[in-house]
A and B are shown apart, each in its own frame.
Chain A
């Protein structure tokens, strides 16, 4: 098979599966739907591995067009593929995690009436995400960008009867649209000033435009590249849930757990990170944009981590952890360590998908109770889930030699090496973040798998907090006093094991080739900042890096986080309760998620509706319809009424008027005749 055909088949096979499962779901049945989609994604996954293999063995980057979508003003917009090492890596991550999630779904959605619909959506997602990462131009990127947003909307609202789910999906779509608003304007600036939508042309033209300025407000000059990059990054802020556009991601947990793993942890939310890495030749030229990115990333990394500490819903803890890790990646982008960000994207995809799927397994085991306060001691009942969760958590907090360690420590090193003004703040944030991550991750781990078995005394009042339960419309609902949790079926645990393996080793294997082996040469541009060079000088192999870490702050901070969480939640549960009671206002602030939702919902959304109402009732109804339209009609009516009085119909009125008229005319003529000029 020639390469272009392979590249075309990789996204189209999942699309085919999605169409079959979606449109002919009733015809092919449940088994038919999962077979057609799983085979499609499996084939795409094999294809992606072969593409990566080819790229690793000196394969040329491919840049070609499929068909011309639109030509305007002599400029082509095509559907086409750019397949280089970055794309190949993303393709493998997307299709592999997607395949795991497809298999897992057989077990997780077993009882759901929307079984075929679900498989259709996740396959459609795989197609959309592949189109996004394989794009060779901005318009196709935007297509993939919006398409994954659409599928995310559909999947968050998968259980469309639940008010919280359909609130969350609308919120997710609209917040993402705010990001897309900036993104589209950024694309507009790219076309206007670079004259092309193709990456290759734009990147080639970028250095020459480094010093070009545009005037946005009156005459103040703005650097074109800074404005463009920041606008593009606003798109990334929406998709990758960066502060202040992060609010949709925690609510997206309303969707079924498999998609939380696939879309809202491993792949879609990293699209923003991928995009900035892809655009590195542009971002590299604007220190302003890089500083901006680093600040946003640092805020997200630290402050979203804090929120993870107080969550009691197992999925929400993982969700806030995802937000925080996305912040780490963003910080790395800001430090010009694009390859490090992408490296963390990859390791994170494996261990976070693992953590989410393990959380899902716990939820099944607990009969759809998601409150970690009702769990405890599950390691006895769910051994596979327990071990894999432990691996995922250790990888997440950066245990030496595990995958998360290599990527996260590289980020910290990169920020440390960066000379941008924002780097100091970002460095503090990522260092404190290490402690926070370890604390909340192991708080959850201990509460779920160790300690007392608390489900016996758990209260199951059915009116409780909405996100404690995924299947509100189903009967079973948490464990009864005499029930025991049980390990889940093999379709669920197999993906956990398959994801645990890369969570353990991928960092160790990949760090040297990916970061320092020239893997991204010619793809990612870091020429204008020295961060990667400095990191490379200090790097002496994966083993040395692991050994060296035992003497560094991040290691001890992570250890302290684990120890403290063990002490707090296993030994002395009275202490966190006391702290919570003592720090009332702080706790309230965290519980209300810094009041961001209040600001958006009571602020923007309500204001928009009020404004709309004023425009409608005052502008349209009173001013335009009342005054202008009906007003002029009334005016005509009034004039007519006036005129009507003259036309009375009485003959003597008319005769009188005639006489008066005749007299006036006579006077006029006589006057002209008698008075000579």
Chain B
């Protein structure tokens, strides 16, 4: 079994999703939920050995599987994970499990299809993180858009179709350029789609520049970076709670992962040359988006903007170069930030979902004094709000801290701009918290609120433990990254100019 762990991580959720789909209509919704839970649970279990059996001895790929897929074009079903990607497979399976629980009784219409969409998407995303063949990556990378499109478009709010189309077109637009790049590299790498081979192709700076543009459009949209970020708030607002959780926790990470796996090692000279543009856009994300988040009146939009701002740290961490390579602090900090943001943003969206399920409003103005009627919930929400503000001892602090420290090494003013998140992050998160949770009971809806039930409590406890655990012992995460990050940095240092 253990040599097929990655295949299991991909196919267990997909097969479970198909079985769930087979239960059909809502008359058998209970079955659909149960099978979905089992599938997601099993899908999570098979990813755990990826962590426990992960070797720290080298920075290369582990749990590798390879067999031919389309021999005519030398395309292989080639899987593997290293310290850069392993955590995202686990995080993805973990989030899927939470999403199934989060949607348990909330989703009443087309339950089987809802659960199936998440399970299938989970498998596809795992495929993208585990793919070592560019074509395989591309297929998974594109395919996951379909279930996501359906989740937003079918179970979303009033304006869901606009949001779904925007999401789909936006992300598709970038991907097409990616395909062109892959085909170009295929011919120059000696007719192979192996990503590892791509990383050895020598390319003149002008070609690297074009590829950088292609990578930028493919991945920046997913991150999302300023100025191609406007699809995210729309998609979040229209998505159901589970959709928002996956979108924030996982989908955005695919974009950042793309920069790490493709842009940095394949076109390092272009990254050195034009990295400052990405740094500039990342810092705009931190400051500009931070201010935009401050004035949002819709909680989900606020958290969506906060996601963009937090993801700015990720791209900043990747592209801060010193001595011709990214800093260890920057890359590992960005990876930690990606994982932490997975927990924290999922938790934030879940908390908003808990309130939305009761009041059916996301407007901050419709709340006030929730702590009076939901004290347990208020305590959890505070923990996640603090994590979102980057308080030490929560996971939210670690990544931001590492990136800021790394930034000081590179350029004091990068750090200066990035560190404003200490102020903005706290301002928009805690101001929202104040208006929603504190104060006298604002209206009869709030007065009638019931505190969290057992199902919600379970999800909140699990997320709280992960957020605190990662904040108190981040070493458990970073020690698995060191070797792969070192390998990556060595690769980037190496010029690919002919």
Binding site for B on A (CB under 8 A): 67-73, 139, 142-143, 146-147, 150, 153, 157, 160-161, 163, 166, 170, 173-174, 177-178, 180-181, 184-185, 187-189, 191-192, 214, 216, 608-609, 611-613, 615-616, 619-620, 624-625, 628-629
Q: Which residues of the other chain, A, contact B374 by a CB distance below 8 angstroms?
A: none
Q: 16 more A-B contacts (CB under 8 A) besides A150-B386, A153-B430, A161-B372?
A: A70-B398, A71-B482, A73-B329, A157-B438, A161-B438, A174-B423, A184-B404, A188-B405, A191-B405, A191-B409, A192-B405, A214-B412, A608-B294, A612-B292, A624-B229, A625-B230
B427 near A624 with CB under 8 A, answer no
The B interface is mostly helix, strand or loop, or mixed, namely helix
CB < 8 Å neighbour of A146 from B294, B329, B391, B475: B391
CB < 8 Å neighbour of B415 from A150, A178, A185, A611: A185
B439 within 8 A of A: yes
A sample of 17 inter-chain contacts (CB < 8 A) reads: A67-B473, A69-B474, A71-B475, A72-B478, A73-B328, A143-B392, A143-B393, A147-B391, A161-B369, A166-B434, A173-B426, A180-B422, A611-B291, A612-B294, A615-B291, A616-B296, A625-B230
CB < 8 Å neighbour of B227 from A142, A160, A187, A624: A624
Q: A177-B422, A181-B419, A613-B295 are in contact. Are A71 and B479 (CB under 8 A)?
A: yes
B46 to chain A: closest CB distance in Å? 29
A174→B170 CA distance, assembly (Å): 36
Highest count of chain B CB atoms <10 Å: which of A68, A188, A189, A192: A188
A637→B229 CA distance, assembly (Å): 23
A73→B405 CA distance, assembly (Å): 12
B329 near A72 with CB under 8 A, answer yes
Q: Which residues of the other chain, B, contact A163 by a CB distance below 8 angstroms?
A: 439
A70 near B369 with CB under 8 A, answer no
A72→B486 CA distance, assembly (Å): 11
B274 within 8 A of A: no
B473 near A69 with CB under 8 A, answer yes
Q: Which chain B residue shows the least CB distance to A23?
A: B379
CB < 8 Å neighbour of A177 from B292, B402, B423, B439: B423
Q: Which residues of the other chain, B, contact A611 by a CB distance below 8 angstroms?
A: 291
Q: Which chain B residue shows the least CB distance to A163?
A: B439
A173 near B430 with CB under 8 A, answer yes
Q: A71-B479, A161-B369, A166-B434 are in contact. Are A147 and B393 (CB under 8 A)?
A: yes
B399 to chain A: closest CB distance in Å? 11
CB < 8 Å neighbour of B430 from A170, A613, A620, A628: A170
Q: Which residues of the other chain, A, contact B369 by a CB distance below 8 angstroms?
A: 161
A517 to chain B: closest CB distance in Å? 37
Q: Which residues of the other chain, A, contact B105 by a CB distance below 8 angstroms?
A: none
B230 near A160 with CB under 8 A, answer no
What sequence of 0s and 1s flags, for each residue 104-132 of chain B, a beta carbon within 8 Å of any chain A beta carbon?
A: 00000000000000000000000000000
CB < 8 Å neighbour of B408 from A147, A188, A615, A624: A188
A619 near B391 with CB under 8 A, answer no
Q: Which residues of the other chain, A, contact B292 by a CB distance below 8 angstroms?
A: 612, 615-616, 619-620
A615→B308 CA distance, assembly (Å): 14
B276 within 8 A of A: no
A71 near B478 with CB under 8 A, answer yes
A379→B170 CA distance, assembly (Å): 75
The A interface is mostly helix, strand or loop, or mixed, namely helix
B221 to chain A: closest CB distance in Å? 11
B412 near A216 with CB under 8 A, answer yes
Q: Tell me the chain B residues, 452-498 only, with Cβ under 8 Å from chain A.
A: 472-475, 478-479, 482
A141→B49 CA distance, assembly (Å): 36
Q: Which chain A residue shows the least CB distance to B473?
A: A69
CB < 8 Å neighbour of B439 from A160, A184, A187, A624: A160
B50 within 8 A of A: no
A177 near B426 with CB under 8 A, answer yes
B332 within 8 A of A: yes
Q: A184-B422, A615-B288, A616-B292 are in contact. Are A191 and B408 (CB under 8 A)?
A: yes
Q: Which chain A residue shows the least CB distance to B382?
A: A154
Q: Which residues of the other chain, A, contact B362 by a CB distance below 8 angstroms?
A: none
A187→B475 CA distance, assembly (Å): 20
B420 near A160 with CB under 8 A, answer no
B440 within 8 A of A: yes
B371 within 8 A of A: yes
A177→B290 CA distance, assembly (Å): 15
B261 within 8 A of A: no
B282 within 8 A of A: no
B295 near A161 with CB under 8 A, answer no
B427 near A608 with CB under 8 A, answer yes
B184 within 8 A of A: no
B63 to chain A: closest CB distance in Å? 24
A68 near B475 with CB under 8 A, answer yes
B230 near A624 with CB under 8 A, answer yes
A612 near B431 with CB under 8 A, answer no
CB < 8 Å neighbour of A609 from B229, B288, B295: B295
A160 near B426 with CB under 8 A, answer no
B192 within 8 A of A: no
Q: A147-B393, A609-B294, A624-B227 are in contact. Are A189 and B422 (CB under 8 A)?
A: no
B200 within 8 A of A: no
A150→B391 CA distance, assembly (Å): 8
Q: Which residues of the other chain, A, contact B212 by a CB distance below 8 angstroms?
A: none
Q: Which residues of the other chain, A, contact B405 by a CB distance below 8 angstroms?
A: 187-188, 191-192
A143→B392 CA distance, assembly (Å): 5
Q: Which residues of the other chain, A, contact B404 by a CB distance below 8 angstroms?
A: 184-185, 188
